[in-house]
Every structure is written in structure tokens, then in C-alpha cells.
A and B are shown apart, each in its own frame.
Chain A
Amino acid sequence: KAGVTQTPRYLIKTRGQQVTLSCSPISGHRSVSWYQQTPGQGLQFLFEYFSETQRNKGNFPGRFSGRQFSNSRSEMNVSTLELGDSALYLCASSSGAASYEQYFGPGTRLTVT
């Protein structure tokens, strides 16, 4: 079974721009979660989608948004980029069943200049 894939792997943007990151979960998985990883703040939860519905959201400003499509693929959007948004963005998928195990993609490295 193919793992979680994320595109693009690397991205460089300038302040004020917006960006869209994509995540394709493991086949059959219906839950997709997004995390931001920075050296200072560590790993922080952004949001989680299940069957196209956002079920949980972390403490991030409204500039961070996401959605999930009927095929469980998910996108994350960040508008009006700030220098502090530079981070590794990780996507994780889960079957949504009782195991609660999350499997991570390779991440998208976003650099804001």
C-alpha cells in the first residue's frame, strides 16, 4: 500500500503571498490531520478532517485553512504569509478506526522570505 504523499516537497514564497499544500492519504484512510513543525514551537496541531468535515482545529489564526475532498485528499491553505510561517508542514492519515494510529507523509518545507 502506498504511503502518505505530500506535494510539493519544498516551497519558497514571499511575505504576503498565499500557498496551498496538498496531501494524499493512505488508500482507505478517511482522516487527515495537519501539523506544523518549527524548531521553536515543535510539533503543533493545525486541524483534522474526516469525510470532508473539519472535526478538530488547533490554535492557529484564520489565515490557516483546509479542506478535504470526497476522495479523502486534503489541501491546506495559508494566506497572507508571514516570516513565522516558515516551517515543515506534516500531513498524517488515519483510518479513523479505534487504533488511532497516524501515519505521516514526508512533509512540505515552506520557506517565507
Chain B
Amino acid sequence: AQTVTQSQPEMSVQEAETVTLSCTYDTSESNYYLFWYKQPPSRQMILVIRQEAYKQQNATENRFSVNFQKAAKSFSLKISDSQLGDTAMYFCAFISLSLIQGAQKLVFGQGTRLTINP
């Protein structure tokens, strides 16, 4: 079974600082996707960034980037120039491509509560 672990329950940084959230996962599959989702106090889950396991290049979306280490099964999220609006729960998630073709089941970590202070 796949598992996703986020070892940092809470983090807090000052506005404009850079912060890195950690995530490790366990799987025997070779084809999969990894995601970071953000859940602000409104509870709306928002997709932040995705990484295909077959791609060596780390994904980047504006201020958000990942450090994907496939051999180590590590998938960290870096937020640069953090903003007050980045305050949220951040979930790392995994989806395997080896299930029944097309079946899509996200496995989530427990989340990291990130607070950006002014």
C-alpha cells in the first residue's frame, strides 16, 4: 500500500521568507504522480503543483517549486517570497498509475499547517 508522510505538523515563517515543506512517500510502483494541495481556512482544496515521476526536471509554478528525489522517495515544496495568502494547510498527495487503468485514488499525507506572519 502507498503511504505519504509529512513530518512537519506546523511551520511558521515571516512574510517574504522562503519555506520548504517536506514529504516522503512509500510505493513499489514506478509510474505515479505527486501533488501538493493547499487548503486555506475556507477549506477549498487548491492544486498547487504536480510532478510526474518519469520526469527528472523539478516542477515549478511561479513562487512554488518542488525538489523531487525519486530514489529517496522525497518530494518537498519550496515557497519563495512567501505571502500572507500562503497561510494554509498543505497536503502532499500521491496517485499511482498502476491501478485499474484510469482509476484515480489520491493518497494524502497528514498535512503541514503553514502560517505566514506579517
Interface residues on A, range: 20 to 34
| Complex: A107 Cα to B110 Cα, angstroms | 18
B108–A42 CB distance below 8 A: yes
- Choose from A58, A90, A109 the contact partner of B45 (Cβ within 8 Å): A90
A56–B100 CB distance below 8 A: yes
Interface residues on B, range: 20 to 34
Assess A100 versus B99: contact at CB under 8 Å? Given A42-B111, A45-B106, A56-B104: no
Whole-angstrom distance between the Cβ of B1 and the nearest chain A Cβ: 10
- Choose from A50, A103, A106 the contact partner of B102 (Cβ within 8 Å): A50
> A37-56 vs B: 1/0 string, CB under 8 Å?
00000110100101000011
Chain A interface (Cβ within 8 Å of chain B)?
A: 31, 33, 35, 42-43, 45, 48, 50, 55-56, 58, 88, 90, 92, 94, 96, 99-107, 109
